[in-house]
Each structure stands twice: as structure tokens, then as C-alpha cells.
A and B are shown apart, each in its own frame.
Chain A
Amino acid sequence: MTTTSTQRSTGLPRPTVPVGGGPRRRKHQVRPLRVRRVNKTTYIILSAFLFFSGFPLYYSVVVASHDNGVLGQVPPPLLPGDQLFTNIQRVFDTVAFGKAMWNSLLVSAVITFSVVLFSSLAGFAFAKLNFRGRPGLYVAVIATMMVPSQLGIIPLYMLMAKLQLIDTLYAVIAPSLVSAFGVFFMTQYLSAAVPTELLEAGRVDGCSTLSLFWHVVLPIARPAAAVLGMLTFMQAWNDFFWPLVVLTPENPTVQVSLSTIASGYITDFSLTLTGTALATLPLIIVFAFLGKQIIHGIMQGAIKG
């Protein structure tokens, strides 16, 4: 956090370039000219990377759409087959996959809502309100981003057992309700995007802090909140370690359910990869529509002092 010293009295890191469609107040956007010409080799290298990125996903669809017996053929199939729907049926027959999908949706939605709300509130306070202890508390937020989450797992399990929440979705949701990254992300965005004069004007008109948050800050925060929401949703959907600890195969999330299919003694690849494709599909659909914003968000969130 070397940038802190360059700041005025706030002690907060310098705002980065705004996310998404946020206001652009600086005349010079840091935009490289990028005049360097590239040759064909560049595109070939990039295509190779793209091929390696895409092939495993493509091939999992190929496997998912064939009968398991066909996979042993020489040469193995490289084009999708016609067994996809049969295999999907088998996935739903083998494990509680419908329930798993629903559970994952519920867990991810609640976590996303909570993280976005609490991060916006805390981000607003850190970015725009003056209070004693602010720099210290903000450093504490940054520091907690580095804490390895797996290490508190034993007491967390004991706590959930004591509260009789084992095998419930509450146990999955509770530890993810807030996110240090989210607070950091929203603080960065709001300190650049919300004009302080606007808040002052609101104060003069007699707005309480909460109505400033509601009527001024939230509308401005929307693009960043959307990006944070998408990142959080993906993370919650893909989370595995903790749900595996507290849930059972009868009441799983999608990832837990997948691991159940995959850890059978005789691996039925058509079955497991159909499950994998089903579990990944929702995210790929979201990504297809909003990939640009997600990439933008990751790149913005990455610039740390």
C-alpha cells in the first residue's frame, strides 16, 4: 500500500480508473497508443493458447454426448454424439442433481445479495465518510483478504455443529456473507465515482446518511455492484471445500454433487462429464453475455497499490 502516502488526509488508496460505465473525469485516460505492429506469429501463438483453453471444455461435451462404451474406441470420438439427453436423464437419476442445482442457486443468490449490500455500505463509509479509526480499519480489511480460508475450518465446523446447522444451507452461506475483497472493491470504486460535493449538497438539504446512501450512492454504485455481484456469484457457485465439509450427498450443492458422481469406484465418464457440463453451463451462459464486464472488473480489482 505504497500509494497511501501520496494521499491527502484520507489515508485511503488512490482511486483507480472507474469500472464499466462509470464517470470518466480525467481528461487523459491512461490509454496506451499501442502502435506496435504485430505479425502472424502472434496470432498463431494466441490461437494456440485459445485452443488449449477451449479444448478441455469442448472435449467434455464430446464425452458427455456419447455412451460410456464408445470412449474406449480407437481412435476416440472427437465430435459430439447423440446421447446427451440420455446422459442428462441418468445424472438426474443417479444423484439429487435437481436439488443440488436449486441449492446452489439459492446459496449463491443469498451470498451475492449480502456481499454486494454490505460491501457497498462499508465501501461508502470508507470512501466518503469521516470517522475515527478509518485508516486502521481499512488496513484491517485489506489484511483479511490474505487470510487463508481453509485454516479455521475445524472451529467453524464445531460452531455449526453447536448451532445444529450441519447439513443445512445456513452453514454454507454464513461464512461467505461478507467479503474483504468486496469492501476493497467498492471503496476503490466509490471514492472515485461519487462526487463529494453531491453528498454535501444532500446534507444541506437535510438528508440523513442512510438516505444519502440510498438516493445518491447506490445509483452511482450500480455498475461496480453488478461486477462485484457477478464475481461473487461465480465464486459462490464454484465453492467446494466448505460445502463438502458441512453438507451431505442427500442435500448437496452442485459441486458437492459432482464430486459424489466422480468418486465412485468405476468411473462413468459420460455420466460425470454430463454433470460437469450441466454445472458449468449456467456460468458459461452468464459469461457469454457479461464476459466483457467481468473481465473489466477483474482487471480493475487487480490494480492494487
Chain B
Amino acid sequence: MKTWLHRADVKASPYLYVSPFFLLFGALGAFPLLFTAWVSLHDWSLLADDHPFIGLQNYRELLKDSFFWNALGNTASMWVLSTVPQLIFALILAHILNNRLRGQTMWRTGLLLPNITSVVAVAIIFGQLFGRDFGIINYLLGVLDLGQIDWQAGTASSHFAISVMVIWRWTGYNALIYLAAMQAVPDSLHEAAIIDGASSAQRLWRITIPSIRPTIIFTVIVSTIGGMQLFAEPLLFGGGGLTGGSDRQFQTLSLYLFEVGFGRFDFGYASATAWLMFVVIVVAAAFNFVLIRRIRRS
């Protein structure tokens, strides 16, 4: 009897221990995602009682929807504007931190501080800094006699301001991830390069970057997934609201999804938007993956 119990325990308990994760994730993560596809094939409004099946009608409309394309363009633009500088800064920072420095903990703590600030707080703080009338950035521009900018009003200026928020919050975090990868690069490689007279920049380009390529690919993919879901910053920037400014000049895909789903309560159309977003994310991530691999091969 006892051995029977023991064997049951050994056989069954592993499944018991992993089951909370799979059950909860299945019910509240995987199922909603799949059910989104089903909803997207219906004319499904929260305000109506029946939800007729309409096939791919939502997708057809969406592909003709200029607001959707506008949001897609804005999202892509802000993604490039924020990710490229962010990762370059992070690489440089990590390369610097990978030296023998005084106060390692202090630098790292300081650089991670923006990351523990919530996105809402970041959006509010930078909304003030980029304010048209009382913002300190416009004040400085005025002092330098460069003229003041209504950051929120223009397409390019608003994308720039929002990208600055993203860069500010994530550069230090990515620098730490790069630093972790860089510390696994054998020091002898650097020693040899130094003896051969390589500069710090050459070592970064020729040794460090090739060695940590998997980590770079990882950060690019993570920031693609994050960047495609940009939400709080454009929502709160200068009181932009769900439309992302009066001319939708900085409305992202997430904002549009939210506007359709919880502004108009058109769940079918919102679900179609979500699925197209998913496709865009997968394509963008795959594209970046191939791109980064290419760059270092050549």
C-alpha cells in the first residue's frame, strides 16, 4: 500500500506542480487569444444582443481603414525612433560599464531608476517636460534662441517626444542585459586586441558585438513586441486621449484597438485589429531576427 502511494506520488506530483501555470495560463492567456480569432469573424458589438457571423468582413474593412494604417505607420515610426537609439546607447553604456570602474553599483542603480518608474509616471513627467507653454525643454530652446515647439501638435515632434520617453525608460535596462552578456565574453580576447593596438570602439565592434549577438537578437525581439504595444505614453502625452492627438498624429495600434473595443464597443472589429496586430508583431519580429543575423554575418 505504501509503495503504491509512493509511486503515485512520484508519477503524478510533477504534473500537479506544473498544472497551476498551465491551467491559469490556458484559461486567461491562451484561450482569450484564440477566442479573439473567433470573435473577429462576427459582427459582435457589446451593445447588440446577437452577433451574426460575417466571415472575413471585419478584416476587409480593416484593410481599407485609413485610421488603422495611420496607427500602423505611427507605431512603426515610433518603434524605429525609440528602439534604434535605445539599443545603441545601451550597447555603449554596457561597454563602458564592462570596465573596471569605481562605484559599479551606483552607476547600475542610477541607470535602472527610470525602469522602475511606471509608464504612466513616465508619460506624465515627460508630458510636463515637453509642455508647450511651461515645459522646461521649450524654455531651454527659448534661451538658446531656437524657437519653441508645440511638441504634441506635429507628427514628427510628437513621435520624437514619445520616443524619448521610451528611450529614457528602457536604455538602462537593456544596458544591464548587454552587460550580463558581455561579462561572459572571455577577457583574453580583449587583452589580445589591446596588445594589437585596438581602440575601445574597435573592440566593441569587432569582439563584443559578434560575441553577444544572441542577446542583441533577444533584445531587438523583446523591444519589437513591446514597441508594437505602445499605449500609455501616447494615451497620456499632453492629454492626447484615445485618438492620439487631435489629428491622430500619434495614435498607435494599441490605442486604436482600445478605441474600437472600449470606445465604440465594437468587439468584432477590435478583435480583427488585435489579430492583424499579432501578425504585424510576428512579421516584424521575424524580419528583425533575420536582419540582425544578416548584419553581423556580412
Contact = CB atoms under 8 A, between A and B. Distances in A.
Given A52-B168, A178-B25, A154 B183 contact: no
Given A34-B98, A36-B194, A154-B36, A298 B176 contact: yes
Interface in A220-255: 234, 237-238, 240-241, 245, 255
A234 B11 CA distance: 37
Interface residues of B, number: 104
Interface stretch (A7-15, A88-96, A289-297): A289-297
B36 A152 contact: yes
B31 interface: yes
A263 B271 CA distance: 26
Given A155-B32, A178-B24, A302-B180, A57 B125 contact: yes
A186 B19 CA distance: 16
A130 B18 CA distance: 12
Contacts of A265: 239
Given A148-B228, A240-B120, A259-B235, A153 B13 contact: no
Interface stretch (B59-67, B72-80, B105-113, B153-161): B105-113
B124 A34 contact: no
A154 B275 CA distance: 11
A272 B21 CA distance: 38
Contacts of A125: 13-15, 17-18
Interface in B100-121: 100-101, 105, 107-114, 116-121
Contacts of A292: 105, 109
Interface of B: 6, 9-11, 13-15, 17-18, 20-22, 24-25, 28-33, 35-36, 39, 89, 92-93, 96-101, 105, 107-114, 116-129, 131, 133-134, 136, 139, 143, 168, 171-173, 176-177, 179-181, 183-185, 187, 190-191, 194, 214-215, 218, 221, 225, 228-229, 231-232, 235-236, 238-239, 241, 254, 257-258, 261-262, 267, 270-271, 274-275, 277-278, 281
20 contacts: A36-B194, A43-B101, A49-B171, A121-B20, A126-B18, A129-B14, A149-B29, A152-B36, A152-B274, A153-B32, A159-B28, A183-B18, A213-B17, A238-B116, A245-B262, A259-B120, A265-B239, A267-B131, A269-B134, A295-B112
Closest 3 pairs between A and B when the two form their complex, measured CB to CB: A152-B32, A238-B118, A299-B180
